[in-house]
A = this chain, B = another copy of it.
Amino acid sequence: MEEWLKDLLWRLNLVKNMNQPDGFTRLGYTPKEDESIEVFKSEAKRLGLDIHEDAAGNVMARWEGENPDLPAVASGSHLDTVVKGGGYDGLAGVLCALGAVKKLKGDGFTPKHPIEVIAFRSEESARFGISTIGSKAMTGLLDKSIGSVQDFEGISIKEAVSHCGFDWDNFHKAERSEKAIKTFVELHIEQGTHIEDHDKDYGVVRGIATPIRLKVTANGKAGHTGTTPMHKRHDAFVALSPLVEFVNSYTKQLNEKQNTPIVATVSTVDLKPNVMNVIPSTVEVGIDIRSVSDELKQEVAEAIRQKVKKIEGETDVTFDVHELVNNESILLDDELQQSLVKIGELEGLSPHLMDSGAGHDVMNMSVKWPSGLIFIPCEDGLSHHPDEFASLADLEKGVRLLTQYYLETAKGV
């Protein structure tokens, strides 16, 4: 199995080894993503699976089983990456699910329910600023008006999918019925170190912390840095800068006060005019707040609003706070969580019950079907980076877990 995993890991990544200093760049709806999908299809066929491609380009590799009319037991993830990303984010879930099918086929198992390995399209927001396009289409959550959104080269989503042979106007046809799927489990690298920190083998995710995202703008007044005295300034950057430290310290303290993790980050900044001899007139920062507790997220957002008001009262700089995103966090299926814990016990692997700070395709799938999320460890929690790494031993653990999942869920009626 290890040799097979290593070989397929390389092939899905379109490389001859994993030592790639510039990382992996397979943006959604590009020829590189296509190429990886083709490798997936051909390997799935070799394993005896039937290939179904939907109107959005998602691929279902399907083992019909004894009763093709029963809802499918599904697993999968995505094959696209960010720019100069790692070779495991997304890909590990597709790889391990294929590995599980290989194992079950080798063991002579015959499922009652159909089994599916799904490769979703364009999960990362790296190209269009919009994530999980494929799984949104599959679950009917896609907002077709985003077709005009453009990438950094000015290519719209509509154009990009057409270059890959798809028609944006048909994307709604990718939606599947509730009866099509029994359960969906995604396996993903953790992108954190909770599993390792707790000395466990894998993670079973209870909830996915979707973000509240705020854009805070400080409006001061430009002026020549050499001719404007200190006491006559309305420097937007000076006024806003305490907010950066505040977001960090407030959120840190909130973690100490209670048990549900919450994180908040001032992650972007746009300063104008950003010229050495001009006092900053405007600063805009982006703040990303995440927790599975929507209440905690609201609390941080509210604390930021209060802090901004306080700064406004103390300076001659005015502020705007704009809510870019406010998605309710997602709690995954309870029963499926229990079964993903049991599956580990069958394999002698110990689970860590945890939350996910990052979004995944399973977020969309969970809206329609009972869904679960398994994490396998990745080194130092590093992700979206050329050095992202998950060991073959951990990938093999992933295969064993998904094997048990397919086996336990597809065998019954």
Residues on B with beta carbons closer than 8 Å to the beta carbon of A229:
192, 255, 261, 263
- Beta-carbon contacts of A189-214 to B below 8 Å, as 1s and 0s? 01111000000000000000101010
Asked if A268 and B274 sit within 8 Å, CB to CB, the answer is yes
Residues on B with beta carbons closer than 8 Å to the beta carbon of A267:
225, 237, 274-280
Asked if B276 and A251 sit within 8 Å, CB to CB, the answer is no
Complex interface residues of chain A between 209 and 259 (CB less than 8 A to chain B): 209, 211, 213, 222-233, 235, 237-238, 241-242, 244-245, 248, 251-252, 255
Asked if A226 and B261 sit within 8 Å, CB to CB, the answer is no
Q: Which of B244, B261, B288 contacts A277 (CB 8 A)?
A: B288
Copies in the complex: 2
Residues on B with beta carbons closer than 8 Å to the beta carbon of A264:
230
Asked if A226 and B275 sit within 8 Å, CB to CB, the answer is no
Q: Beyond A238-B245, A275-B268, is A288–B192 a contact (Cβ under 8 Å)? A: no
Residues on B with beta carbons closer than 8 Å to the beta carbon of A261:
229
Q: Does A51 contact B (CB under 8 A)?
A: no
Q: Beyond A229-B263, A358-B227, is A288–B268 a contact (Cβ under 8 Å)? A: no
Q: Does A407 contact B (CB under 8 A)?
A: no
Q: Beyond A238-B266, A245-B241, A275-B268, is A228–B381 a contact (Cβ under 8 Å)? A: yes
Q: Does A147 contact B (CB under 8 A)?
A: no
Beta-carbon nearest neighbor of A209 in chain B: B226
Q: What is the CA–CA distance of A269 and B384 in the complex, to the nearest angstrom?
A: 24
Q: Does A290 contact B (CB under 8 A)?
A: yes
Residues on B with beta carbons closer than 8 Å to the beta carbon of A358:
224, 226-227, 277
Residues on B with beta carbons closer than 8 Å to the beta carbon of A226:
209, 211, 263, 288, 290, 356-359
Residues on B with beta carbons closer than 8 Å to the beta carbon of A286:
276
Asked if A269 and B269 sit within 8 Å, CB to CB, the answer is yes
Asked if B248 and A238 sit within 8 Å, CB to CB, the answer is yes
Q: Beyond A226-B209, A227-B191, is A265–B279 a contact (Cβ under 8 Å)? A: yes
Residues on B with beta carbons closer than 8 Å to the beta carbon of A280:
265-267
Asked if A224 and B192 sit within 8 Å, CB to CB, the answer is yes
Beta-carbon nearest neighbor of A84 in chain B: B273
Residues on B with beta carbons closer than 8 Å to the beta carbon of A252:
230-231
Q: What is the CA–CA distance of A339 and B358 in the complex, to the nearest angstrom?
A: 71
Q: Does A271 contact B (CB under 8 A)?
A: yes
Q: Does A305 contact B (CB under 8 A)?
A: no
Q: Which of B192, B241, B269 contacts A228 (CB 8 A)?
A: B192
Residues on B with beta carbons closer than 8 Å to the beta carbon of A241:
241-242, 244-245
Beta-carbon nearest neighbor of A242 in chain B: B245
Q: Does A383 contact B (CB under 8 A)?
A: yes
- Beta-carbon contacts of A313-340 to B below 8 Å, as 1s and 0s? 0000000000000000000000000000
Besides A228-B357, A230-B252, A231-B255, 11 new A-B residue pairs in contact (Cβ under 8 A), listed by A number? A226-B263, A226-B357, A226-B358, A230-B248, A230-B255, A232-B381, A238-B245, A242-B245, A267-B277, A268-B274, A268-B275
